[in-house]
Structure 1
Amino acid sequence: MALFDHLGISVADLPRSIAQYDPVMTALGCTRRDADDSVSWSLGEEELILFPARDAESGPHEHGQVGWQHLAFAVDSRDEVDRLHAIAVEAGWTAVREPKLYPRFNERYYATFIEDDNGIRLEFMHNPPRETAAQSDA
């Protein structure tokens, strides 16, 4: 069983958010489905859904306050982290942290953080198991 079934995010401007999320979610291999007042992307049974906020003036979300912190997507390589970062920035996301190693987590942890117009922060990260990292270095 998956850890999450779906994640819903309220956004101030649904068309603008679709333009930001669609290239990223498509690059992650997700399938898009449009509905009357929402749009979703799924990969298997897991789904990310954007909804228009009830009060568009209530945002943007501020990182570090109560609520959303970030959502991390695990990817297969550092090159994939770099590729997704470039796609997101091209789609209008703000680079919070450029792709780099995070030795404070471990010597293999490579990630980037991006933020959309709503203050929603995503992370693309590659953290191979120690054995796999050692084998790929050989």
Structure 2
Amino acid sequence: MIDHSGISAADISKAVSFYDQAFAPLSISMLAEVPIEFTDGKRVVGYGTHRPQFWLSEGEAQKPPVHFAFAAPTRAAVDAFYEAALKAGGSDNGAPGIRPHYHENYYGAFVLDPEGNNIEAVCHKAET
């Protein structure tokens, strides 16, 4: 399947601040920053749990905005992601809850990042 992916952000500092905070409840953190001499002077950072799998690159934001869903280990982590993302400057795009039209245990939350991308945290486990 997909090995890694990424997006561009016009305001890379704002994007890094947002993702640092929003990803913390999912145990996702910045694991790499590409030396600027290899990126035409643009900042490029990679996030993941064990290796970089989601990259942020300084540059014009994609149009139209994109959607990414990140795995959450528990429903509580989805809730924490949502709250952290809102506090970090994201906008509500769907409060945490069951989305039975996907499947009976689909629990997700949606937030628009500072560039307007739809960022989701989802847990597929039954509530325990």
Asked if these proteins are the same fold (TM beyond 0.5), I'd say yes
Q: Which residue does 1:61 correspond to in 2?
A: 63
Q: CA RMSD in A?
A: 2.0
Within 5 Å, which residues of 2 pair with 1:77-92?
77-92=74-89
CA apart distance, 1:107? 2.4
Superposition TM-score, scaled by structure 1 size:
0.75
- Pick aligned residue for 2:8 from 7, 10, 16: 10
- Alpha-carbon deviation of 1:61? 3.4
Gaps of 5+ in 2: 37-42
TM-score, normalised to structure 2, is 0.80
1:127 maps to amino acid:
H
Count of residues in Structure 1 that have an aligned counterpart in Structure 2: 120
Q: Which has the higher contact order (CA 8 A, sep 6+)?
A: 2
Larger Rg: 1
1:13-66 per-residue CA deviation (whole Å, 9 max, x = no partner) reads: 11111111111233322342233221111222342111111xx3xx56345xxx
User: What is the percentage of aligned positions where both structures have the same residue?
Assistant: 27
After TM superposition, the structure 1 = structure 2 runs for residues 1-138 of structure 1, keeping only pairs within 5 Å, are 3-32=1-30, 33-35=32-34, 36=36, 37-53=43-59, 56=60, 59=61, 61-63=63-65, 68=66, 70-128=67-125, 133=126, 136=128
- Determine if contact 1:29/1:43 at 8 Å carries over to the other structure: yes
Tell me, which stretches of 5 or more residues in structure 1 are unaligned? none
